[in-house]
């Protein structure tokens, strides 16, 4: 069974993590539709179509020097055809019931669904392979993550919402470039629009995989600029993004 829900993921490189992420989604019951936006990966992610033929993999090749997550997610939002979407992350793996829990919560009108994530400090050994992914593997990784020193958190690892609402507010704000605050921005705008925040932390779990930090994407200048923009929007209470500009352009 595939739901009236699309998981949308933006990714640049992160080959090992994205394969684990897709394997986890493939193992979910019920399984969402999937759009993976490959934002200029060195080795195109379209090769995963052989392993995951149900995935819609969109390759972006214009202005992809710095990972522009908001534009990548907007490309996915525009390409989706389901009533609901779940914006999530290439470094996540999910409990088997995860997207079913998101979908169930979204049946209440005007909801904005969120879920905190647990964090893995490291991947255990070389025997962990996406081709061998299973519910048993997830439970073992979940147990490791629960022993991590990091408390569960994560603003943008799960944003479930009506696709029509996202279209009405022009998606993610593409003025956020590089790491930081784009997910907080979408949550803030949803609250300003009167959507109801629904947390599903007691219904399901997700685990964040360790990864490197690309120096361009995590540039301090981007982070400070993004933070200032977010602070300003707290005051202005804007709901619609990308005013007078085309958004989600491939």
Query: Whole-angstrom Cα distance, residue 140 to residue 179?
Result: 30
Full set of structural domains in the chain with CATH:
2-236 (3.90.550.10)
Query: Whole-angstrom Cα distance, residue 183 to residue 97?
Result: 23
Whole-model pTM: value is 0.95
| Number of neighbours of residue 160 by Cβ within 10 angstroms | 24
Query: Whole-angstrom Cα distance, residue 117 to residue 203?
Result: 13
pLDDT tens-digit profile, the chain (250 residues): 679 999 999 999 998 899 999 999 999 999 999 999 999 999 999 999 999 999 999 999 999 999 999 999 999 999 999 999 999 999 999 999 999 999 999 999 999 999 999 999 887 765 566 667 778 889 989 999 999 888 888 887 999 999 999 999 999 999 999 999 999 999 999 999 999 999 999 999 999 999 888 888 889 999 999 999 999 999 999 999 999 899 999 9
Helix (H, G, I), strand (E, B) or coil at 4: strand
Q: Which residues contact 1 (CB under 8 A, 6 or more apart)?
A: 29, 30, 31
Look at residues 2, 43, 12 and name the one whose alpha carbon lies nearest to residue 178. 12
Q: Which is it for strands 56-60 and 31-39: parallel, antiparallel or unpaired? A: parallel
| Number of neighbours of residue 243 by Cβ within 10 angstroms | 10
């Amino acid at each position: 069974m595939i739901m009236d829900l699309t998981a949308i993921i933006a990714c640049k490189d992160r080959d090992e993590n994205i394969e684990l992420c897709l394997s986890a989604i493939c193992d979910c019951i019920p399984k969402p539709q999937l759009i993976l936006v490959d934002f200029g990966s060195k080795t195109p992610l379209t090769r995963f179509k052989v392993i995951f033929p149900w995935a819609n993999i969109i390759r972006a090749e214009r202005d992809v020097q710095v990972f522009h997550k908001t534009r990548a997610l907007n490309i996915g939002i525009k390409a989706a055809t389901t009533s609901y979407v779940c914006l999530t992350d290439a470094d996540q793996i999910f409990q088997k019931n995860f997207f079913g829990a998101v979908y169930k919560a979204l049946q209440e009108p005007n909801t904005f669904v969120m879920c905190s994530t647990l964090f893995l400090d490291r991947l255990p050994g070389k025997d962990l392979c996406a081709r061998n992914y299973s519910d048993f593997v997830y439970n073992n990784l979940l147990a490791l993550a629960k022993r991590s020193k990091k408390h569960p958190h994560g603003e943008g690892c799960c944003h479930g919402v009506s696709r029509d609402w996202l279209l009405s507010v022009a998606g993610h704000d593409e003025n956020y470039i590089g790491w930081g605050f784009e997910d907080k921005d979408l949550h803030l705008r949803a609250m300003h629009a009167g959507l109801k925040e629904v947390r599903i932390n007691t219904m399901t779990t997700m685990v964040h995989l360790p990864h490197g930090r690309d120096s361009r994407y995590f540039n301090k200048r981007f982070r400070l600029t993004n933070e200032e923009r977010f602070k300003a929007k707290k005051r202005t209470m804007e709901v619609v993004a990308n005013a007078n500009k085309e958004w989600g352009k491939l």
